[in-house]
Structure formats: C-alpha cells, structure tokens
Structure 1
Amino acid sequence: MRIVRLANFVTVHTGGLRTTLRELGKGYQRAGHEAVLIVPGRQFKDRQLRQGRVITLPSAPIPRTGGHRVLAGRRELTKLLDSLKPDRIEVSDRTTLRWTGTWARQRGVRSMMVSHESLAGLLGVWGMPKRDALADRLNRRTAEAFDTIVCTTAFAAAEFRRLGVPNLVEVPLGVDLDMFHPSRLDIAVRSRYARPEELLIVYASRLSAAKRPELAVDTVAALRNGKVPAVLVVAGDGTRRAALAYRAARLPVRFAGHIADRKAVAALLASADVVVAPGPVETFGLSALEALACGTPVVVDEQSALPEVIGEAGVAVAGTADAFADGVSQLMARPRDERRATARARAEQFGWSRSVAGFLQAHDVEPAEEPVAAPTLIRPAVPRPRLVREPGADEAGAPRYA
C-alpha cells in the first residue's frame, strides 16, 4: 500500500507533530508499506529517508505564527496527489486540508483525518465566541469528508463523540523507549542548571499561548515563595519567548531554546526532578510521555488529556501556579526510586509499534508480506524542482523541513 500523508504547521518548534510523523512513517515502512509525507517549506525538496519519502512544497510563512506554513496551492497539491496515486491518504490538518477528503472520495481512495488538537479548546484559547457551536459545525464537516477520524485520547475524541460520529477511532501515540530512557541521566547536565540542593524543573514544549508556558515560570515563583529552592529550564522556542523572559526576569529560569539533538533532550528530561506540562488543551502530550520514559514524573493540567496518559506516574492539578507548585511537592514527597520506576513503567505501555499497528488497522490495511523497495522519486509539476537525497538524515532527529 502507498500511504500518502499530508501535514501543515510543521516547523522546527512543533516537536510532537514532527516526531509523530517520523515514527509513523518508519513504522509503515517496516510493515512493508510505502510511506510518503508532503509538508510545506521554503523550497521544493524530494528526499528518501528512513521514514519514507518526504516531499516539501514551497509555501510562504503565515505572519505572526512563529514561522508556520501551510500547503495553500490546491491545484499544485492536486496534481502531486494525482501523480502519486495513493492507496490511502492520512491528513494532519483539520482546517486548510479538509478538502483532500473530497479529493480522495472522488478517486476511490480511503482517507483518514488525524485530530492532533481539541478544536473547541483552541477556539477557547483564541477567545472565539460560541466556540462549542463553531467547533461542532466544523467537526461534523470533517467527519463527513473523511472515511476515518483518528484521535489519540478519549479527551481528543470527546468533541467528535458528542456528535455521534460513527467513523471515530482512538489510537494512542507512542514513545521511543530506547532514546528516552532513565540511563540518559547526566550529572553534568544537571549541574549545568542547578546545584545539588536545588530542585530542577523542566518545561519542554513550544512557547505558545496554547501551551501556557507562563504557568511554568509562575510555578517556580510559587515554590520559591514557599522556600523551596526550585529552578526552571525552558527547553523550547516560540512566539511567547520575549514575554516569558520579561516575566522570569528575577527568577532562576534558564532558557535553553529549541534543542535539536534528541539525545540532549533525553538527557535533560532524565536529569530533571520534575517536568511540568501546563497546557490545558493538550490532546496527548508527547513531551510529557518522553519525560516519563526517562524516569521523570510530570505535573499536568487536569483539564487536558494528559491525566489519562500519565496515570499514577504524575499528578494532575488545576491550572494555577499554587496548584502546580503543590503538585511538584507531592511528587517530591515520594521516594526517588519509586517515582522514577513508576514513571518508566507507565511509559512502557506506549511503544510506537503498538501505535503503528493501530494506525494501520484504522487504515484497514495489514502488514505487507515483503518490505517495499525504495520508490523512484518523481518530479511533480512545480517550478524549477530540486531533488535532494539525504539517506539516514532522520536518525539523529526529525527531518529538517526547509
């Protein structure tokens, strides 16, 4: 089977989405299928990587979004899809790419939409009036346009379930249990940010309004007001960077920026005492699961999907600084070995092989008997295409889309 996947808003800062796209592609390839990923970027590229074929189409950045781009040219994308002749399409954008469901239906191609976010939740963050009614209308159109809707948690599925959507499937995401492991703990990394007597807290996510990174800063302020010697490392970048630096001016907060090296990310997560994930509309929270895989417990917002992901390996609290500070204290009251073992054991329930199998089942396909040979790269009808081959370029991290 040739599974063509389309995704928008894929940037260096969208770590969870990039990781998901990469790991699913690798899993499809291992299962004997041909995976093709189409994403927007600065210029045309066509590469064969471990996750399959990755095609980048030229697209202008959207103003005031931190560099996000979308596949806006319908005619160009339609020509490319027609040339690829997919057996299945998998779409990771419920807004600008919803029309591809109609394209697929007209050509007899089964289609899947992956819901990576709570639309009602995002509309609430953006301050949209009558958000539930608007979300219901858009979600109903999405469900009608695609053969299958995949959500990664019950939290994400709730807004479709209340509409009685019959083509809804829940498939949890996974985590790289080898890359993210308690053995990544590094005393040198820890000492870079905190003294032995200090509590090292890590926030590892995009710096955007939906993620509420300011709550991580305020949590450290609340802990220090309670005489807890806490320090915070912010690993990530985004549009809220300047505002956060101003908010943290008198606090022990270190901004590490975006960390491209996944091993370095794992070392930071494994070396922390606690990781905080304050986003109230998280529909899975891959970075929190990566922390658990490293043996580090997490404090999460009780309104998000994360409570069902972390189980007993963390604490779910209200979205306030005092509540998060109390959650950190609760975790630190547990014996160190116990909290680290519990975190790792929970993460081990979320391997990527299980997730890939679930997605393939949702696609109504089985693993192929023989591995698929690397496909011949085709130059679609785009101005002055440039072919770039980078074998193995995604072994150390997600592919860097231009």
Structure 2
Amino acid sequence: MRIVDVCAFYSPFGGGVRTYVEQKMRIGPQLGHEIVILAPGDEDRVIERGPNARIVTLKSPRFPLDRKYWYFASERQLHQALFALAPDFVESASPWRSAGQVAQWPGPAPRSLVMHADPLSAYAYRWLGDVFSRETIDRQFNAFWEHLRRHSRRFDLVVSANASLSRRLADGGVAHTTTIPMGVQPGVFSPALRDPALRAQLLAACELPDSATLLLGVGRLAPEKRWPLVIDAVNAASHDRPIGLVLLGEGREKRTILRTIAGNPHIRLFEPERDRTHFARIMASADALVHGCEAETYCMAAAEARASGTFAILPDLGGGADHAADGAGLTYRSGDPASAAQAIRQVAQTRPQPSGHTRTMDAHFEELFAAYEAICAARIDALAHRAA
C-alpha cells in the first residue's frame, strides 16, 4: 500500500511526532508499504528517506503559538496534494483542523484518524478539573466532541494508543475507535546499559552523593507536562531523604520551571540529550523516571524507562498509567503533588525493580498496517459484491 500520513504537527526540530514518523518510515518499507509523510513547511519540497519513504512538505504559514511548527492553511492545496499522491490509505495525525480537511477530501482512499493528542486532558480537564467533574466539562466542550463525532463518521478507523482514551472516545460517540498501543525503538534501550559511574556523575551534578536517589524527568517544557508539580513533589519528598532530579527538556515554560526550581542545587534542568545511545544510558542509570502529565496518549518516556529496567512514577490517568502495569511502576493521583510526593518517598525507600514485557514500535506498525490492509480488502470485496 501507499500510505500517506497527513501530519500537521511534524517538525524537523524534534518531538514525539518526529520520532514516530522516523520509525514509520523505517518500518513501513520493511513491511512492503510505501510511506509518504505529507506535512506543512516553509516551502514545497520532497525529502527522500530511502526506498519507498519520503517527506513531502507544502508551503504553509508558521504556527503562531510555536514557531517550530506550521499548519495547513489551505484545504484546496492539501486536497490537490492528496490527489497527486494517489494514496491507497490516508492517515490524519491530528484531531484538529487537518482532520476535517482529510475528512472532506473527496478522494476514494479509506482513511484513519490517529489520536496523537488528547486535547481535553491536556487543556480543559487540567484547567477546570479542580472545580468541575469531567462529565460537566465534556458537556461544556460539546462542540469539540461533536467535531470528533462528525469527522469519525467519515473515517474508517479512529486509532488510540491507550485503552483509557479509547473508552472515553467510544463513550463520547466517536465511531470506529480501536486501541493499537505504540512501542519503543528496538535495540536501543536495555537494563544492560546501566552505568554506575554515569549515575554518580548525574548525582554529583545535583550536588548529592551516589547514596542518594536519582530521579529522571524527560519531556517538553509545556504546561500540560506539569513539571512544577513534579518539582514540588520532589522537594516535599526530599525532606525525608536525599533525592536528585535531572530534568531533560526544552520549551516555552523554561522560565516558569526555573522559577519553580528556585536555585535548588538538587534539581537540574538540562537540554534534551539528542544522542539516542547516550540517552539510553542515562535512562538505564536512573533509579526511577518521574512524570507529571495525565494527558499522554502513550507516554514514550515511560515505555523507554520500562525497556531500560527503570521504575516509573506516573499519574493514574492517561497513557502513562498503562506503563505502571505488571510491577513496572507506581501511580499517584493525577494533578496531586502530595500524592506524587508520597509515591516518590515509597520508591526512594524501597528502590523497586520493574518487571514485564516492553512492546516495540515494530509490533505497533505491524498491527496498524494489518488493520489498514483489512479495511482495504473489505472495501474491494464490497465493490466486487456490488458489481456482481
């Protein structure tokens, strides 16, 4: 199949979507498919990524809230590009504007909506959850639910990476919803990469001895990631025992996070580690990963921690919670720094070792593309039946 991924939030500057796209372009051709990433950019351009894999960018405006991204401003331009590419299957990788543009495309190919974002959890539930129930918030944001319901009827499949989001979508009337979990890049993360010298070095950067507990935080510096909550929880837990936190990330909330750290020498904020081999050593060398975001659709950092043999401290809602199953982590009440602090204390005291299997991204794409093939086959059978 020629699979065209209409990827509104792809950026060459990094992020989880770019990681996912890179894996798709690697694995898809191995499974016999042609992968085309159709993304907005500064210019019309084709970037070849090997046999049967390429990125096609359409000249588009920059996204005003984050200049690392662009957006599809013209539905007509997008539709013309899809007709020119003649896909066998079309994906929309965003539930926002581009989902409607893909739904309205009059071409014949079947299509899917892949929920790489959970906007209600990232924004509405986080902003209003201390005052209103989720049911009340959902009623107030019915326009967004109706947007999803309306477009889902034009898609053959709506893909979610975690069971919790899939249930919410189905309960909200979003059609054709299924769960296909993602996974980690194979051959990169391993408990065997744990390095006591590197662990001691990271603790020394936090002005702590190697007898202290080393926590690792990984992710964008964005409001929905709740890094101030994590920092407050670490500060509270540190009253009982020495704990260091190394936070790897970049983003628009950097100043806010530095103000929250307030010069605490035991909490250090560093730029993301872009060398995947060295990052895997860091992940395996931490005593635990700590995460604050309950709006993750999958939580790649938690999956990579599990693959590294590193325990995870996670909120009890969203995709992160799935990675605490089978003894691989411990959950706390989402949005509650006191609950997070108690979980950190427990992990610092007991130093648990995780267990359980880690799914790979290869398995994710095998399952995803098999679902697409089944939809295409069913459509061909239906057309043949009508012709007969």
TM-score interval for Structure 1 and Structure 2 normalised by the shorter chain = 0.7 to 0.9
Query: Whose relative contact order is higher, 1 or 2, with alpha carbons under 8 Å and at least 6 apart?
Result: 1
Instruction: Among all aligned residue pairs of Structure 1 and Structure 2, give the percentage whose two residues are the same amino acid.
Output: 23
**Corresponding residue number in structure 2 for 1:360:** 369
Distance 1:102 1:286 in 2: 28
CA distance in 2, matches of 1:165, 1:103: 17
Q: Residue deviations 1:142-181, cap 9 Å, x none?
A: 2122111111111111232113444112101011231011
What amino acid does structure 1 have at the position aligned with 2:261? Answer: A
Tell me if structure 1 keeps the 8 A contact 2:37–2:56: yes
Tell me by how many angstroms 1:85 deviates: 0.6
Q: Is the 8 A contact 2:306 2:323 kept in 1?
A: no
- Scaled by the length of structure 2, the TM-score of the pair is 0.85
Say whether 1:38 aligns with 2:47: no
Match of 2:142 among 126, 133, 136: 133
Aligned match of 1:153: 162
Q: Kindly tell me: are residues 42 and 60 of structure 1, through their superposed partners in 2, closer, same or farther at Cα, counting changes over 3 Å?
A: same
Q: What one-letter code is carried by the residue in structure 2 that aligns with 1:137?
A: E
Unaligned segments of structure 2, at least 5 residues? 129-136, 204-208, 377-388
Alignment map for 1:146-185 (pairs within 5 Å): 146-185=155-194
Post-superposition offset of 1:184 = 2.3
Corresponding residue number in structure 2 for 1:316? 331
Tell me if the contact between 1:302 and 1:317 (Cα under 8 Å) persists in the aligned partners: yes
CA distance in 2 between partners of 1:236 and 1:17 (Å): 15
TM-score when scaled to structure 1?
A: 0.82
Deviation for aligned residue 1:205: 0.7
Contact persistence 1:118–1:159 (CA under 8 A): no
Unaligned 5+ segments in structure 1 are 368-402
Question: Alignment partner for residue 258 of structure 1, among 258, 272, 276?
Answer: 272
Aligned position for 2:251? 238
Query: What count of residue pairs does the alignment treat as equivalent?
Result: 358
Q: Deviations over 1:95-125 (max 9, x none)?
A: 1112343344x22110000012223213415
The aligned counterpart of 1:69 is 70
2:63 is the alignment partner of 1:52: no
Question: Residue 95 of structure 1 aligns with which residue?
Answer: 96
In proportion to residue count, which structure has more helix? 2
Aligned-partner Cα distance in 2 for 1:220–1:181: 26
Contact 1:94 1:113 in 2 (8 A): yes
What residue number does 1:346 align with? 357
Q: Distance in 2 between matches of 1:122 and 1:298?
A: 21
Superimposed CA distance per residue, residues 361-382 of structure 1 (whole angstroms, 9 cap, x where no aligned partner): 2213599xxxxxxxxxxxxxxx
The CA RMSD over aligned residues, in Å, is 2.3
- Runs of at least 4 residues off by over 6 Å: none
Q: Is the 8 A contact 1:270 1:291 kept in 2?
A: yes
Match of 1:278 in 2: 292
Q: 1:23 to 1:327 in 2, by over 3 A?
A: same
Structure 1 residues 259 and 45: alpha-carbon distance in aligned structure 2, compared to 1, 3 A threshold: farther
Q: Which residue of 2 aligns with 1:4?
A: 4
Contact 1:153/1:171, CA 8 A, preserved across alignment: yes
Measured after TM superposition, the shift of residue 13 of structure 1 is 6.8
Amino acid at match of 1:169: T
Mapped partners of 2:140, 2:371: distance in 1: 29
